[in-house]
Amino acid sequence: MTDNIPAILVLADGRTFRGFGFGATGTQLGEAVFTTGMTGYQETMTDPSYHRQIVVATAPQIGNTGWNDEDNESAGNKIWVAGLVIRDLSHRVSNWRAARSLPEEMASQGVIGIRGVDTRALVRHLRNFGSVPAGIFSGDAALRPVAELIEEVKAQPSMEGMDIAEQVSTDAPYTVAPEGKKRYTVVCYDMGVKTATPVNFSKRGIETVVVPANTPFAEIKQYSPDGVFVSNGPGDPATADAMVEVVREVLAAKIPFFGICFGNQILGRALGLGTYKLKFGHRGINVPVRNHLTGKIDITAQNHGFALENPAGEGKPAAGATWESDFGPALVTHTCLNDDVVEGVALENGMAYSVQYHPEAAAGPRDANPLFDQFLELLEKNSTSGESK
């Protein structure tokens, strides 16, 4: 904390914020987004869905609990955020599980941060003008002419139209064993899956075969899956044509389907909906969502910059909207209470459903965790092999 390394956050629209660097030193580009979570920065930073994004924390002090070896949400404990922007860095680590400090972990993984930023002003700017390309420049890089830095930031590719799920996906299939007796087998498409998701399946007696993004449907038949799951992940869902076709084959084969986040957008596209980029997205662990099948409201963990189009039409409430898909009647099951964004879709026959948020509660509330039980019930109802498998 005694090192006041000069640093500057530069937005593509010309807005700049000066502060001090921590973690690694140098230059990092990405899309500036903000998260409203008051806790869980380690889970956020290791979530593959944040690939290529510079995350702004709205919580005023970060680093209090240090860094441990249990709460990472990515294979290999990799930090996926492109950079971290905070107001205050905790002077002291205070947690019995902490193995090291946040700056130490960031430095070891080459992740650049900037502290001392007026994050309230920055978040208001992002809310007003939307998530924009940005860059963190620290050390000698921060001393370059600002006009030169702005041009470098503007030259980077936009997140819109970017197909990057394969960059965070597993290279080869692997299996997560169930706890206790094996009941069912589920194939999980890793679009950027969080480690807590297969753990939730495992607790329910489900063997999870995790396969790379875009694995052809013909290849997963060898596992004789009782169900198929598509995970969260980064990038523009409008580019995911290969995965949309896979899910259409899954639906045609009448295999139970469950999707989370990116998986929700993939299912929506398979059912005929389009997608679009949100102005500043939903990121945090306090987003209210209404389940229109039950009337229940859940407080959810979210991280998405894209969403499904409203099948009811522009300007109309999305809640409970229905439409005809190639696989039968479909409906909007969940919407966000903040802005009426579609947060869940399903086939009326119950064979496929998905949500835009993260029910695995890492980090975040456990309100939506029963969605995993819903999938287990769907497997029980439709599996031909059952617990004998």
State which CATH number among 3.20.20.70, 3.40.350.10, 3.50.30.20, 3.40.50.720 fits the domain covering 5-154: 3.50.30.20
Cα radius of gyration rounded to whole Å, the chain: 21
The annotation status of 95 as a binding-site residue, yes or no, is no
Confidence of residue 118 (pLDDT cuts 50, 70, 90): very high
Reading the block at residue 239, the tokens are: 């580019």
Please report, to the nearest 10 degrees, the dihedral formed by the alpha carbons of residues 191, 194, 195, 199 taken in order: -100
The annotation status of 265 as a binding-site residue, yes or no, is yes
SS3 215: coil
Domain ranges of the chain: 5-154, 165-388
Quick one: average pLDDT of 230-245? 97
Quick one: average pLDDT of 125-150? 97
The annotation status of 138 as a binding-site residue, yes or no, is no
Q: What is the pLDDT of residues 256-266, one digit of tens each?
A: 999 999 999 99
CATH topology of domain 165-388: Rossmann fold (3.40.50)
Please give the pLDDT value at position 389: 43
Please say whether the beta carbons of 314 and 377 come within 8 A: no
Quick one: average pLDDT of 335-350? 97
- Would you name the residues annotated as active-site residues? 261, 358, 360
Average pLDDT in the chain: 95
The annotation status of 383 as a binding-site residue, yes or no, is no
Q: What is the pLDDT of residues 160-202, one digit of tens each?
A: 999 999 999 999 999 999 999 999 999 999 999 999 999 999 9
Confidence of residue 385 (pLDDT cuts 50, 70, 90): low
The annotation status of 233 as a binding-site residue, yes or no, is yes
Spacing of C-alpha 166 from chain mean position: 14
Q: What is the pLDDT of residues 51-78, one digit of tens each?
A: 999 999 999 999 999 999 999 999 889 9
Is the pLDDT assigned to residue 90 strictly greater than 80?
A: yes
Q: HEC profile for 270-338?
A: HCCCCEEEEEEEEEEEEEEEEECCCCCEEEEEEEEEEEECCCCCCCCCCCCCEEEEECEEEEEEEEECC
DSSP class of 10: E
The annotation status of 303 as a binding-site residue, yes or no, is yes
Element at 134 (helix H, strand E): strand 132-138
Please give the pLDDT value at position 53: 98
Is the pLDDT assigned to residue 100 strictly greater than 60?
A: yes
